[in-house]
């Protein structure tokens, strides 16, 4: 795919996940014991043969730079093309530009100077394992302006309440956009677009001087009658990290073998920044059931139906159920914890009871001492 470049836009709605994004964007929220959310879209592009990838940050970029570096884990530390990270500029009133289109405008030279004919544009918060090659072939053959990747949700399937839906005609053309109503059957937009690079430049040039609040996906929706937009169905597992509930549920689903196997498909590996951690150390009295435990963890208590990241310590007598413990957390003796997300570097002292439930997940902020 030498004629295709990739863009990952981090301009994402965080209002329902603020407890985890005070110090980072959604893209770098820890996920599945050892990954970050952005690893999936970045790996999808690399597995599709895309070697020119631009990450357009929106705010709080320190963790993005720290995690991605020069792109070595994804084989993007190269002389030609590779990984590029772009930052938003300040507007006249001193704030950050509020959408991806303005970020593209401010870094227009990257798009103008790239040599690839086509571009795949994706958000970070859609978790899926997807090789784009067939979708790109579909786009080239259809000769449409934009190809939009979508996923069909059946009646009763949970989640995606903040995502866009789309309606199609009998030929697979996108006719309109909307929002999901409760748990009805619908076609969910993954916000992944394929188009010619020149077409993207045309959109950017055309919108100079327009409102800073208009995003690319909104513009495509508004102008759907002017553009030829085709839909391409993704039939695999899709998860969207746009709320505390969706983040928690997405991680817990990975404890099911069939889900984990689909998300971490062997033919399309998910790459991430590596750390040299020792194997998990289990104490004599430890009990672990149906949990994902990463290297470097020390388990001396009980862990059930939980995700445990690198460097976590669960002391003797502590009981952790249906919870997510991020890196370098410490759960002290005799603590009882259920339905809780503990962010990085937090310490919970002895004899505490922290009890959430399925409808009300407790979140302990990063670097907390309780």
Residue 295: pLDDT above 80? Answer: yes
The span from the first CA to the last CA of the chain, in angstroms, equals: 50
pLDDT at 129 over 60: yes
Distance of CA 20 to the CA centre of its chain: 13
Range name among 122-131, 179-188, 311-320, 361-370 with the lowest pLDDT average: 179-188
* pLDDT tier, 5 (very low <50, low <70, confident <90, very high otherwise): very high
pLDDT at 53 over 80: yes
Q: How large a percentage of the chain has pLDDT more than 90? A: 78
Q: Of 59-73, 94-108, 126-140, 226-240, give the lowest mean pLDDT range.
A: 94-108
Give Cα 178 distance to the centre of its chain: 22
The full length of the chain comes to 370
Residue-averaged pLDDT of the chain: 92
Backbone angles phi, psi at 47, to 5 degrees: -65, -20
Q: Which residue has the higher pLDDT, 129 or 102?
A: 129
Answer yes or no: is pLDDT of 338 > 50. yes
pLDDT, position 93: 45
Lowest mean pLDDT among 2-11, 41-50, 100-109, 123-132: 100-109
pLDDT of 12 higher than 70: yes
Average pLDDT, integer, range 264-286: 94
φ, ψ of residue 137 in degrees (nearest 5): -60, -40
User: Of 240, 190, 220, whose CA–CA distance to 99 is shortest?
Assistant: 220
The CA R_g of the chain, rounded to the nearest whole Å, is: 21
Under DSSP, the state recorded for 303 is: E
Q: What percent of the chain has pLDDT over 70?
A: 96
Nearest in space to 283 (alpha carbons), one of 246, 209, 333, 222: 333
Q: Measured in whole angstroms, how far is the alpha carbon of residue 185 from the centre of its chain?
A: 23
Q: Which of 7-11, 176-180, 316-320, 323-327 has the lowest mean pLDDT?
A: 176-180
pLDDT (mean) for 244-258: 96
Determine which helix (DSSP H) or strand (DSSP E) holds 40, and give its type and residue range.
Answer: helix 38-47
Is the pLDDT at 351 greater than 90? The verdict is: no
What's the whole-model pTM score? 0.94
- Enclosing H/E stretch for 25: none
Using the CB atoms, write b or e for 70-98: b if 16+ within 10 Å.
ebebbebeeeebebbbbbbeeeeeeebbb
Q: What is the pLDDT of residue 211?
A: 58
Determine the pLDDT at residue 98.
59
Of 1, 88, 66, whose CA–CA distance to 272 is shortest?
Answer: 66
Q: In the chain, what is the greatest distance between 2 CA atoms, to the nearest angstrom?
A: 67
Residue 91 has pLDDT above 60, yes or no: no
């Amino acid at each position: 795919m030498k004629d295709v470049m990739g863009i990952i836009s981090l301009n994402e709605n965080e209002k329902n996940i603020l407890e985890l994004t005070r110090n980072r964007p959604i893209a770098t929220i820890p996920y599945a014991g050892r990954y970050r959310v952005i690893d999936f879209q970045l790996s999808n592009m690399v597995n599709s043969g895309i070697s020119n990838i631009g990450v357009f940050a929106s705010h709080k970029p320190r963790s993005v730079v720290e995690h991605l570096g020069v792109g070595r884990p994804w084989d993007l530390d190269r002389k030609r093309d590779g990984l590029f990270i772009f930052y938003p500029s300040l507007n006249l009133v001193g704030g950050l530009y509020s959408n991806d289109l303005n970020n593209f405008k401010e870094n227009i030279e990257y798009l103008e100077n790239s040599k690839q004919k086509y571009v795949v544009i994706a958000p970070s918060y859609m978790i899926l394992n997807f090789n784009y090659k067939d979708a790109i072939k579909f786009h080239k053959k259809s000769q449409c302006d934009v190809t939009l990747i979508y996923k069909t949700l059946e009646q009763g399937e949970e989640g995606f309440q903040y995502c866009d839906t789309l309606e199609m005609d009998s030929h697979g053309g996108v006719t309109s956009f909307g929002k999901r109503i409760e748990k009805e059957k619908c076609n969910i937009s993954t916000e992944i677009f394929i188009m010619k690079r020149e077409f993207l430049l045309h959109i950017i040039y055309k919108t100079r001087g327009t409102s800073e609040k208009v995003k690319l996906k909104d513009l495509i929706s508004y102008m759907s009658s002017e553009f030829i937009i085709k839909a391409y169905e993704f039939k695999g597992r899709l998860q969207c990290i746009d709320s505390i509930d969706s983040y928690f549920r997405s991680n817990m689903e990975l404890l099911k073998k069939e889900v984990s196997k689909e998300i971490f498909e062997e033919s399309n590996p998910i790459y991430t920044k590596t750390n040299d951690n020792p194997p998990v150390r289990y104490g004599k009295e430890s009990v672990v059931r149906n949990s994902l435990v990463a290297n470097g963890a020390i388990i001396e208590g009980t862990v059930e139906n939980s995700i445990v990241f690198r460097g976590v310590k669960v002391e003797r007598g502590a009981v952790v159920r249906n919870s997510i413990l991020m890196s370098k957390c410490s759960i002290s003796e005799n603590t009882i914890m259920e339905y809780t997300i503990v962010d990085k570097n937090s310490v919970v002292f002895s004899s505490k009871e922290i009890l959430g439930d399925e409808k009300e997940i407790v979140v302990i902020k990063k670097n907390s001492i309780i």
